[in-house]
Every structure is written in C-alpha cells, then in structure tokens.
Chain A
Amino acid sequence: SQQGEEDPQALSIQEGENATMNCSYKTSINNLQWYRQNSGRGLVHLILIRSNEREKHSGRLRVTLDTSKKSSSLLITASRAADTASYFCATPTSGSARQLTFGSGTQLTVLP
C-alpha cells in the first residue's frame, strides 16, 4: 500500500496566489522528498527534507516536516501558470535503503 496520502487531490488557484499541498505518511522516515510531474512526463526532484529538519526553502518552495504528526507540506508562493503539474511526496520504503514509496499526488492547476 502507498506510504503517503496527499491532500487535496486537486487544487485550482489563480496566478500569483500561494498553493499548499499536504502529505501524510505512516512509518518512521529519515527523509521526505517532493517531486513534480508535468502532464504525463517524468518526475522532477524538487526538494529533500531530512527528519531532523523542520523547514526548508528552495526558491519559491517551502517545505515543512512534522515527524510527530507524520506529515509534510509543500508551499509554492506567487504561483505561475508554469507551476501547473502533479506534485508527489515520496518517502523511503520500509526495509529498503534506496527505494521510494510515492504518495497519491496533488494535481495543481494555476489559472492565468
């Protein structure tokens, strides 16, 4: 079964607004990653946050991690039409050093 569940499943906002996506997971992790997938294409790695970090920034992206609640959020500030994509969180698969388990994903649509 999938490790991560994301909400919302779909999000539609206007250009310039902020978009927040949430991810919950079930087991203990040492890091959590976020990926973006443009329509039907490969995934692009966005950011990795370690279990001893609470917040991390990269450009217009801000990721938080709350290990006590087993949840993470991805905030995209000042969104652009080009941010339209599916966003997935991913956590290390239990029992595997390198495998990842992906969440259900959030489809973000940014309207011009």
Chain B
Amino acid sequence: SAVISQKPSRDICQRGTSLTIQCQVDSQVTMMFWYRQQPGQSLTLIATANQGSEATYESGFVIDKFPISRPNLTFSTLTVSNMSPEDSSIYLCSVGWGSQENEQFFGPGTRLTVL
C-alpha cells in the first residue's frame, strides 16, 4: 500500500485567487490522479499525471484552469486558478496500485471553500 499526504487539508480563499495543492506519496508511483468532489456528489476525474509527461485532462477540465506539475515519482501539485465559488469542492489525489489491478489509494483530500 501507499501512504499519501495532501497539503493544505482545507482552505478558504477569495474569488479570483489561486491555490496550489500538494500531494506527496511515500513510494515511487507511475500514475497519479486528481479528482474533484463537489458537495454531496461523487468523484470526477480532473486529470492523470504521469512523471515526465504532460498531464492528461478529462473533458470539461483545462490546463489553464487546473495546471498540474509532476516533477518526480513521489510528488504532484494541482493548482486551482482564478477561483470562483463554483470551485468549492474537495480535491483528492490518488495513486494507482498493483501490477494487474487498478486499485487506487487516496490522499485525505483538500477541502476548498471559495468566497
């Protein structure tokens, strides 16, 4: 298994500002995922971040709004840019695990509130 930490755990931000969320894993992993969970909803995949390549974004998410860095095999950041109240959500990073299966281990999440 993998132990994943996220910073910050929560934040309250003003409209128009940006927040960078960090995800740290205790072992080297190839694939990292960033999800958004809007209040009372399920998880929606924002992008897949592989080390050494550009992140792959899902439909409805763009790099200008959610830039992602993946400088090495244990770390990634997600920035939520030019925030609006609609960006208020829990943001979760996860890592793929297992050689054949597609289990994922999740960080504790970052609860973002935009005023």
Instruction: Find out whether the CB atom of B102 lies under 8 angstroms from the CB atom of A98.
Output: yes
Q: How many residue pairs, one in A and one in B, have C-beta atoms under 8 Å apart?
A: 53
Contact A88 B43 (CB under 8 A): yes
In the assembled complex, B92 has its CB within 8 A of some CB on chain A: yes
B61 to chain A minimum Cβ distance, whole angstroms, is 14
- A99, CB-defined interface residue at 8 Å: yes
Contact of A48 with B109 in the complex, beta carbons under 8 Å:
no
Interface size band for A: 20 to 34
Q: Which among B48, B101, B106, B111 is the interface contact of A44 at CB below 8 angstroms? A: B106
| Size of the chain B interface, CB-CB below 8 angstroms | 22
Query: What's the minimum C-beta distance from B102 to chain A, rounded to whole angstroms?
Result: 5
A31 within 8 A of B: yes
Chain B residue nearest in CB terms to A93: B45
Contact B102 A40 (CB under 8 A): no
In the complex, besides A31-B101, A42-B107, A88-B42, 9 extra interface pairs with C-beta distance below 8 angstroms are A35-B106, A40-B109, A45-B105, A48-B101, A97-B102, A98-B31, A99-B45, A100-B102, A104-B41
B contact set with A: CB distance below 8 Å: 4, 31, 33, 41-43, 45, 48, 90, 92, 94, 96, 101-109, 111
A-side interface residues toward B, CB under 8 Å? 2, 31, 33, 35, 40-45, 48, 88, 90, 92-93, 97-105
